[in-house]
Every structure is written in C-alpha cells, then in structure tokens.
Structure 1
Amino acid sequence: MILISACLVGHRVRYDGGVKTNELMLKYNERGRFLAVCPECFAMLPIPRPPMELQHTTGQKILAGKGRALDKTGKDTTEYLIAGAQKVLKIAEAYHVRVAILKESSPSCGTHLVHTGDFDGKKMKGMGVCAALLEQHGIKCYSEKDMTVGRLESLIAEDKLHDRQ
C-alpha cells in the first residue's frame, strides 16, 4: 500500500472543510493501491478548524521538542500534530508501507515546504510533523507535486513487487 493524504483523493478533511483533489492521484486511486490518511483528523481535530502553522520551525524540530505549532487563534496545536503523526505511523507499520504521497505545505504532510508561521502565505523549506516522523522510520515521502505518471507507475509497480515478496 501507498499512503496518501486523504485531501488529495477527494476527502473533505482540510481545516476549511475543503479538498485539494489532485486529478492524477484521483485517477490512480481507482487502482486500489492507496491508503488515504489524515493525521489532523486522526488527532481528533474538528472540521472546520482554524488554520495552523509550524512556528518558524520544521516537523523534525517539533519531534525533537524544539518547536511548536499554533492555530490562527493562538492555540498551541503541537501535541495534536504529534499525536496524528504517531497514529499514521502505526497504520503505515501495520500495512508495511514504504512510500507516502503527501500534501505539500501542510503542517502535518508537507514534504519540502511548510508555512512560516506568520499566517501570511509565505513558505520555508522543511517537512511537516507527519512527513518527518514517517521519514525517520524509513518511509519515503513525496509531495503530490513530485508525481508524474511515470513516477507514479514506478511506485505502484515497486509496491506490487514488495507485496509479492
């Protein structure tokens, strides 16, 4: 199985109750190789909810206890992000997942970029909390922006081969 951010395949799990459906991911979802997850929903955060951002930090630093996340109202959401990431990791381990395709820029799922923490739309290099935890445990994380038909076909073929072994 390949983990995928649920919002990329049409699940209304984003903070605003919306989706970020990716047509390529939606098309390949029909093949039955994706396992849709949302760390923020697994952390029991409501939908809708205020947007949250890592505060001038990265998921790696938050996992090391050196950063925090806040929502737009000022509420500390660090523990929610960690709890959601831990639940996704347990699911990944149960399904022997080796690859994840995650929503770029999310405080949980960002793989290359996260918002800066100023709620101004600006982004910085870094991973979200869930992506960082998955990578720490040997699960390769990609952004939906990394995906092409060729790369996706290759990941699915590798996943099928791994299942047979």
Structure 2
Amino acid sequence: MKYLVSSCLAGVACRYNGTASLDAKIQELVEQEQAKMVCPELLGGFSTPREPAYQTLEWAQKLDVTCVVLKEFSPSCGTQMIYDGNFANHKVVGEGVTSALLRQEGFTVISENEFMEQL
C-alpha cells in the first residue's frame, strides 16, 4: 500500500505553531519510502488559517496513492473532528477542507489514529 501522509506526523515542524506531531510508525513509513509527506497548508502558501491546497490532490493523483493519512483536528486535514478556529483548543465534528476534497475525488482518507488501529 502506498501512503501520502501529513508532514507533521513524520516529524516536520510545520503545524500552525511551528511544531510537529511526530508519529514514529508514520515516520518509519517515510524512511522506508512507503509514504510521501505533504503539508496541504504549506503547499497552499498561506498563513494560518490556511486555504486548502489543490496541489495535495495533484500529488495524490500523480503518486497514485491508495490511502492518505492526515492529522486529525487540523482545519485542513481533520478527518472527523477539527479545531473550531478560535485557538482555544475547542474541537467540533467535521472534516478539514483538504480531507473533504480528497474524499470527493475518491481517495481513502484516514487520521493517524485510524492508521494506528490498522496496524
């Protein structure tokens, strides 16, 4: 299986506050070249809150990935819950704009939590 994963899950400090959300298993997939990293927010070139990056969709299509693993709670990447945008650590049910776009285009999109459950 090929994966496209959120860069922050692979250890890249690209979150809105300059940190990463390292997941060792996802980092290992990248190191083993079973996954490619992407940060929809950085690809979009926007500041927080960031617009969705259509380049992420282009990458997923170009790389012919079978699954996309994105960071839960991100307004761009969240798959089931997202932060409400008030920077008060409040989450609401919903999906990020990039997750929605990728799903609309037929990609399987899961969170890092769902990914860990599959192992």
- Give me the whole-angstrom Cα distance separating, in 1, the residues matched to 2:9 and 2:85: 23
The alignment status of 1:118 with 2:72, answered yes or no, reads no
Which consecutive residues of structure 2, in runs of 5 or more, have no partner in the other structure?
none
After TM superposition, give the deviation of residue 112 of structure 1 in Å.
0.9
Tell me the TM-score normalized by structure 2. 0.89
Which consecutive residues of structure 1, in runs of 5 or more, have no partner in the other structure?
53-79, 153-165
The alignment status of 1:139 with 2:107, answered yes or no, reads yes
Matched residue, 2:6: 5
The alignment status of 1:97 with 2:65, answered yes or no, reads yes
Matched ranges for 1:55-94 at <5 A? 80-82=50-52, 84=53, 86-94=54-62
Deviations 1:107-127 (A, max 9, x none): 111011001233221111111
- Give me the whole-angstrom Cα distance separating, in 1, the residues matched to 2:7 and 2:110: 14
Matched residue, 1:77: none
The alignment status of 1:19 with 2:26, answered yes or no, reads no
Matched residue, 1:74: none
Contact 1:103 1:144 in 2 (8 A): yes
Deviations 1:75-127 (A, max 9, x none): xxxxx523x1x110011111112210100000111011001233221111111
Identical amino acids, percent of aligned pairs: 33
After TM superposition, give the deviation of residue 43 of structure 1 in Å.
1.0
Matched residue, 1:148: 116
Deviations 1:12-31 (A, max 9, x none): 21122211111221223222
